[in-house]
């Protein structure tokens, strides 16, 4: 399979290097972000779960870092998620998910196991339990983030890493711990500040172990090619948008 031909003509979310010098034309490049995640000292021998995998960037990163087994889950299509305001999310439409993951996995010779599953329905009897669970930009897509975290705790026997967009310039000023429809565009439900994210984890039965510094989101080839509207570019420059944080926590019931 020619890598350039294989990735062409498809809608990619992640920028993934599937062959030397060949990167999928995704909207977001998470490779710099991966170096800022508060990973455990080693993933060797771990059974890991990547929730909301999309094209599979984090699943493949878990493998690259030594995970013994990786299960990657996502909903079948956007309309299977929590529709904002009673309608389907504008992002991604009803496009079936899993095709781009399969292409990237084949090119990378990945052994990750892809499954369709809603975070609320994670079942230890079906999936088993995991030493490390990774959630990248999933909580903001959930109408009930605490219920989602509680479901994650059922399948987590070790650590959970949550990577999320945060609200506020640096989330240091007083303000609400979470904002509903923070961007006012119907793309996410709740966006937490740092304090709110920690509190949500604690309420769902996790104990926070380590937290990253502020991570600046980095655009991938698709965004770089078409550019950002001037207002959005200004918000990113002022650090009013495009900021994330990663938190590692341990299940208190494991």
Predicted pLDDT at 97: 77
Q: In Å, what is the CA distance from 215 to each residue of 46, 132, 184? A: 26, 21, 22
pLDDT at 89 over 60: no
Handedness of CA 84, 85, 86, 91 (dihedral sign): negative
| The model's pTM | 0.88
DSSP 56: -
- Give the model confidence (pLDDT) of 21-35 as tens digits: 999 999 889 999 999
Nearest CA to 136 among 250, 47, 195, 215?
Answer: 215
Rounded CA separation 249/98 (Å): 28
pLDDT at 90 over 50: no
pLDDT at 94 over 50: no
Could you tell me how many residues make up the chain? 254
Predicted pLDDT at 76: 82
Domains belonging to the chain, first-starting first, are 29-251 (3.40.50.150)
**Which carries the bigger pLDDT value, residue 139 or residue 225?**
139
Predicted pLDDT at 217: 83
Secondary structure (H, E, C), 95-163? CECCHHHHHHHHHHCCCCEEEECCHHHCCHHHHCCEEEEEEECCHHHCCCHHHHHHHHHHHEEEEEEEE
pLDDT at 232 over 80: no
Mean pLDDT for the chain?
Answer: 86
Q: What percent of the chain has pLDDT over 70?
A: 82
Predicted pLDDT at 91: 46
Predicted pLDDT at 83: 74
Rounded CA separation 144/167 (Å): 18
**Which carries the bigger pLDDT value, residue 234 or residue 148?**
148
Tokens representing 92? 């991604």
Rounded CA separation 118/81 (Å): 8
Nearest CA to 152 among 136, 166, 168, 167?
Answer: 136
Predicted pLDDT at 124: 97
- Give the model confidence (pLDDT) of 43-63 as tens digits: 999 999 999 999 999 999 999
Give buried/exposed letters for 1-20 (b at 16+ CB in 10 A, else e). Answer: eebeebbeeeebbbbbbbee
């Amino acid at each position: 399979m020619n890598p350039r031909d294989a990735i062409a003509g498809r809608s990619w979310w992640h920028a993934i290097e599937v062959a030397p010098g060949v990167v999928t034309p995704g909207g977001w490049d998470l490779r710099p972000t991966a170096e800022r995640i508060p990973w455990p000292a080693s993933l060797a021998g771990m059974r890991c779960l990547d929730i909301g995998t999309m094209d599979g960037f984090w699943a493949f990163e878990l493998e690259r870092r030594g995970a013994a087994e990786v299960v990657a889950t996502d909903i079948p299509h956007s309309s299977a998620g929590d529709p904002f305001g009673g309608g389907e999310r504008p992002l991604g439409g009803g496009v079936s998910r899993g095709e781009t993951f399969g292409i990237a996995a084949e090119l990378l010779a990945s052994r990750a196991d892809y499954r369709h599953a809603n975070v609320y329905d994670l079942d230890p009897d079906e999936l088993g339990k995991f030493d490390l669970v990774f959630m990248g930009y999933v909580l903001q897509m959930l109408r009930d983030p605490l219920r989602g975290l509680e479901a994650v705790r059922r399948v987590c026997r070790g650590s959970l890493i949550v990577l999320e967009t945060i609200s506020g310039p640096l989330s240091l000023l007083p303000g609400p711990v979470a904002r509903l429809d923070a961007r006012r565009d119907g793309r996410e439900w709740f966006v937490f500040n740092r304090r709110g994210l920690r509190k949500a984890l604690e309420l769902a039965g996790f104990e926070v172990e380590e937290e990253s510094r502020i991570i600046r989101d980095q655009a991938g080839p698709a965004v770089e090619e078409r550019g950002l509207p001037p207002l959005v570019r200004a918000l990113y420059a002022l650090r009013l948008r495009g900021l994330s944080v990663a938190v590692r926590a341990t299940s208190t019931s494991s």
